[in-house]
Amino acid sequence: MHDRIVSLKANEQQQVRGNLKRVIVRRASGPVLIETDKSEVIEARQGDNVLFENVCSVMSLTDKTGMANRLWLVLVSDGEGDVSSVAATVDLANAGDLTAASPDYEIRNYTSTAAGVKILDAASNRRAAIISTDGLTKVGKTQGAADLFTVDGVLEHTAQGDLWAHGEGVEIEVLEYLN
């Protein structure tokens, strides 16, 4: 697996070459069109985990936002095994491979409750946390907060404070990158 940062100008196209079987879009400003030399065309967004039907040698990326789009991609070649996808979100089972550039990380799993469960403690050494849910859950800075926001899929959280999840029976996986 290889991390790749690609900066696209508005409506620009760039090619990525390799023996590619899968692309994980870890970060994107907006949608990007992926076309392979095997005639596969996919519109992908942040959090998408795209498995190609055929291994491709050339993948073309085209910006769909109409403005500059900076992408962070994880490229998986045919010989590197599989990173599975569940409900269009990234399965973090191979997190060790995805975080090779990070000095440390922690993975924790929670089941949210109506009263709330604390999924992140305040941490001054947190670089980012990737929160993956298997359904709709409300998230906020405190237990029972009035300013909750909704997460359904993948959320990248870069703040260093506490984070609480509220919802009945939603499975939550947290991958926390630490400095």
Cα–Cα nearest to 89, from 49, 31, 127: 49
What is d(CA 165, CA 113) in angstroms, rounded to the nearest whole number? 8
CATH class for the region spanning 2-83: mainly beta
Give me the residue spans of the domains in the chain.
Answer: 2-83, 104-178
Give percent of the chain above pLDDT 70. 82
What is d(CA 59, CA 23) in angstroms, rounded to the nearest whole number? 10
CATH class for the region spanning 104-178: mainly beta
Q: According to the model, what pLDDT value does residue 107 have?
A: 80
- Put the strands of the sheet holding 104-111 in their side by side order: 104-111, 171-178, 126-133, 154-157
25-83 tens-digit pLDDT: 888 878 889 999 999 999 988 888 888 888 898 999 988 888 877 787 878 776 554 44
Q: Is residue 21 very low, low, confident or very high in pLDDT (cuts 50, 70, 90)?
A: confident
**Beta strand pairing status for 69-77 and 2-8?**
antiparallel
Q: According to the model, what pLDDT value does residue 36 have?
A: 93
Domains 2-83 and 104-178 share a fold: yes
